[in-house]
Chain A
C-alpha cells in the first residue's frame, strides 16, 4: 500500500488540475507559434478561478506551481490580492489580459506561461525527469536542467559509489573478524563479540561525533601521525568533512551488519571440512579457497545485501562527516519531504531508489541465486 501510494504520487498532478481546470483547458488551445502570449480566454479563466477558487486549494496549487519555476508563489499571491479587490468592488475588467499584466508584469513574461505547460495534465512524468536533472522546454520536450542546477545524477552516482565501497570495505574487514569469532573457544569469542556489539548498541550520533574527533585535522589520528614524524605539522591529512570521512565512518557503523550474518554462517561450518580437505592433499590456501569460502557465501550475501541496502538510504552520518560531499540521495528525499513539500519529486526519487534496489536484487539473483541467502 505505501509503495503503491508512493508510485501514484510520483506521477499524480490532479490537485492542481482540480484548481485550474478551465485555465488549463484554454491553455492547451494556445498556439505558441502564432501568439507570443496566451489568448484572452486563458487570462479570463485564470482570473475567474483565482477569484472564486477555494483559498486553501489555491495555496496547495501554489506550492506545486513553484516547482516548475521559482516565483510562481508571489506572482499568484500578488495577483490574487488585486483580483479580490476588483471583485469586491464589482469592477470586472473588460480586458482580462491587460488587468493581469497591470497587476503583475510577470504575466507578460512567456517563461511563466511555458512553465505552466508542465502542469496541465492529471498525470505527469515530470517528477521523474526532475529526479534525473531534466526538465521541459517551452514545447514540452525533455531537455537537460540548467547546468548550475544539475545535482541529482551526480548524487545518484555518488550514493551508489559510496554504498558499493562501504559494502566492499565491510566485507574485507568483517570477514577476518567473523572468522576469528567463529573459530575461537567460546569464552574468548564471547568477549570479542561484546567488542563487536558494544558500538552497535551505542547511539549513532555518538559514534559519528567520535569519528569527527578522531579524524579532524587536530584530531587523534593526525596528532599521532605528526608525533611519529610521518606527517609534517603543515601536512596534516584532511580525513573528515569529505568522502574519506564518510567512507570510514559508514564502514565502521555498518560493520556489525556484515559480521553478524557471516559469524552465524561460519559457526555452523564443521571444522572437519577444512581438515578433510587438507587430509586429501589440499594446501591450506586451496582448502580455504575451494572448501571454506564457498560455504560462507550465504553469509557474505546476506551481510552484503544488508549493508548495501542500509548504506544506499543513509543520510545522517554522511551529512555530519561528509562536509560538501555529504549529501547523498537520502538527504534530498528528506529535504523535499520536509522543506519544499515537493512530494511528487520525493516519490519519484524513492521510486528510482526502489528500482535501483530491484536491479541489484535481480543481478544478485542471476549471479548467486536468492535461495542462497542465509542469516544463520
Chain B
C-alpha cells in the first residue's frame, strides 16, 4: 500500500509544483518519489501483506512493481528537453504518467476482480489522455481516439467476463474463485467458461495480442514517442502481470479448457507480429509490431504452467523493457535530429554517435535473442517452458519466427554500421547517456549472470 500512496502523493505534489510554475523541481520530485517507492518495494520484500483481501503484496506483485517503477524512472529521465517542446504545462504529463503507474501497481497486485478493473481503468484513462497530448497533431489525436475506443471496447469484454465469473462463483475474490474451480471441477457452472474467454479477450486487447492487436501499430506510431515507450514497456509488462495473476493462479485448474484458444492467440500473435514487422520501413512502427511478437513469446509462459512461469515472465519482461527503452531513446535522439524515423535516418549512426549506436546494437541483439544478452535468457526460458510438455511443433514455429526477427532487428544494425550516412554530429544529453549506459549494463548483466533474477518469485 505504501508504494501506491507514495506514487499518488508524488503525482499530486508534482501537480501542485506545476501550479506554482516550479518547472525545475518537477523531475527531481518525481525521481525522489519513484526512488522512495522502489525502496518500499525492497523493504516489503517477502512480507506478503494483504490489504483487506483486495490487494496482495506478494513477491510476484513486488517484483513486477519494482520493474515497472524502474522502467518508469528511466522513461522520466528521458523527458529532458522532450515535453518542454510540446507544451508549457509539463506537470500534467508527469502527473498522468504517475497516475498510470499507480494503476499499474494495483494491476500487478490485485486479489479481487474489482481491483483488476479499477487498476486497469486508472491506467487506461491516463493513457488515453497521454496518447493525445499533442493537441494540434493529427496522428496523436487519431491515436488517442483509437486507443480510447478500442480500450473502452475491451474493458466491456473484461467487465462482462468478470460478471459471468461472479455469476458462476458468487465472488470477485481470486481465492474464492480458485477454490470454487478446484472443488467443483466436474460441476462447474456453464457461465464460468464464457466468462474466462471474455476476460482473456479483454486482457489480450490490453497487451496487444493478435487478433486483438489492430490498435497497437497506429496508437504506438501516433503517440508521442516517449508515451509509446511507456506503453510498450511498462504498460505491457503490467498487462502481462495481470494476465498471469489470473490465468497462472486463479484459473490454473481450468488450464485444459483455455489452452486451445490461448494457443490460437499465441500462434497468431507470433506470426502476425513478426511477418508484419518484416515489411516496415519505419523504425517506430517496426518496434510496434515487434512488441506484438514479443507478446507472443511472453504468452508461452501460460502454455505450460510450471512453478517458474511467472518468474520466467519477469525475466523476459525485464529483458524486453530495458532493450526497448534503449531503442526508443535512440529513436528520439535520431528523430529530433533528422526529423524522420525511417531506417535510412539511422545510416552511419555508428560514426556520428558510437555510444548510441553500440547501445542500440546491444538492444537489438537482446530483442533478437542473441546469447550473452538478457533477451536470450528470456527466450531460452520461454522455449524451455513449453518444452516441458514437449510442444516441439510450437517451439519449431517459434524458432522460425525468431529467424524472421533476426532479419528485421538487424536492419537497423545494418543501417548504423554498414551504410554511409550524413555526417551530422548527434549529441547525447547527459540523462540519455545515463539511461543508455544503465540499460546496457542491465541487459548484459542479466545475459551473462541471470542467476540473480531467476526464480526470484
> Is chain B a partner of chain A in the same complex?
no
B interface residues (Cβ-Cβ under 8 A, vs A) = none
